[in-house]
Amino acid sequence: MADHVESRVRWVLVFWLFVLSAVAYLDRINLSIAGSFIAAEFRLTNVQLGSLTSAFLMGYALFQTVGGWLADRLGSRRVLAAGVLWWGIFTSLTAAVPPAIVSAVLVLATTRFLLGAGEAVLFPASNQFVSRWIPSEERGKANGLIFAGVGVGAGSTPFLITYIIVHYGWRWSFWMSAIIGLAAGVVWYVIARNTPEEHNRVSPAELRHIQAGRTVGRSASSGAAQESSSSITAADDRILWSTILSSKNVWAVTLAYFCFGYVAWIFFTWFFIYLATVRGLNLKASASYTTLLFLSMAACSPLGGAISDKLTKLHGKRIGRCGIAVFALLLTAVFLTFGSQVQGAGLASIVLAGGAGALYLSQSSFWSLTADIASGSSGSVSGFMNMGNQFGGALTASLTPAIAARFGWTTSFFVAAGLSVLGAAAWLLVDPERALAPATKPSPPL
């Protein structure tokens, strides 16, 4: 009878990836909350303070593919645990920079760049986990829950970091972020395994369910005794970079995610400033509507994943993965266009927050698709895709205020709406049933 009782270990681990996702956004957004205190202590201009965010994004973007490759080679358990340890070290080092140091900007920018490089492993490694632990028909929901951590982490950070700064100073906000992250990383390492075959709490029924629905074979290193193997992915399960870079699917979804990143980082970087300076809201109202924006993301990410899985089951991946992404990005364009033109500040804030929620309805489609088509190289492919996302975010950081200064904020939102439409068009080029072909003979690994 015990063989027929299905455990739920995969969902416990998905929940902990949700926690790590929230912690990652705690680490990266604390700079924006503590920025004014850091600028005052180190005598930084706004341009210099902005360079710290740019440094983080460059490190984050450039190491996406490397992070995914490491996860494919070594497995999500060790790579994520090492990544969280890295985050803790460089988050702490930000707080350890002495006030009188020479070239403070360079030191702080280097620290943030390295923090970004470490955080780059998170989502590619999570996707590698999804490809091995989550059946295809559940991947939308799993990815939706993981990325809900983005909204929860971003939404809770202002309250937590503000409290710590007020009572203990800005440096303690970074040290506490590091401590929270390290604790979460230790728990992950204790409870996680690279594959379900290695986990002694996975019941035979759950293992059969996972194996029947996943699109990647059992790794060469399955089995607890073999976990120290140098490669978690079987040689015939990996995909050559020549195959990846010649794939229309990969380039189309990367273009779509570039557009997604451009729009998302308008919300992360400029929404609070837009409400305060353009819409004339006070700090309390701006903070409240910004929190609403992140809660909208947190709610719509798992909702979009659940809808994607349901539609995939009923109508196939073309509708379930691509269709929901096209709809969500077009809906985002509508919200951005309308929200930028309505007169009332409160209504505009709500409509634009709705745009953020609509955008995140598509989030799980990107990661579910790459897990489906990329076999044992899902970490590498999703890392390459997410690099496009981060370049979109980096472009937002400089282009959005430049457009706003010259043509007004309405035009900035129109440009974002146009990129949403472009992202939807890119999804129309994706064939979710066309998987990347793994190498059929021993070849140089990725």
Tell me yes or no: is domain 2-214+246-427 CATH 3.40.190.10.
no
Q: What is the DSSP letter of 375?
A: G
Provide the pLDDT for residue 36: 77
- Report CA torsion sign: 258, 260, 264, 266: positive
Element housing 411 (H / E): helix 409-427
Summarize pLDDT for 330-355 with one digit per residue, the tens.
Answer: 999 999 999 888 888 888 888 988 99
What pTM does this model have?
0.81
Provide the pLDDT for residue 375: 74
Sequence-distant (≥ 6) Cβ neighbours of residue 203 within 8 angstroms: 2, 3, 5, 6, 7
Residue 429 burial (10 A CB sphere; 0-12, 13-18, 19+): middle
Element housing 109 (H / E): helix 104-119
Provide the pLDDT for residue 219: 43
d(CA 32, CA 395): 18
Domain ranges of the chain: 2-214+246-427
Provide the pLDDT for residue 31: 81
Mean pLDDT, the chain cut into blocks of 10 residues (446 residues total) = 74 96 84 81 80 84 90 92 92 89 89 92 92 91 91 81 86 92 94 94 93 65 39 60 92 97 86 78 74 87 93 92 96 93 84 92 93 86 92 83 86 95 97 80 47
With CA atoms as reference, report the closest residue to 297 among 145, 161, 420. Answer: 145
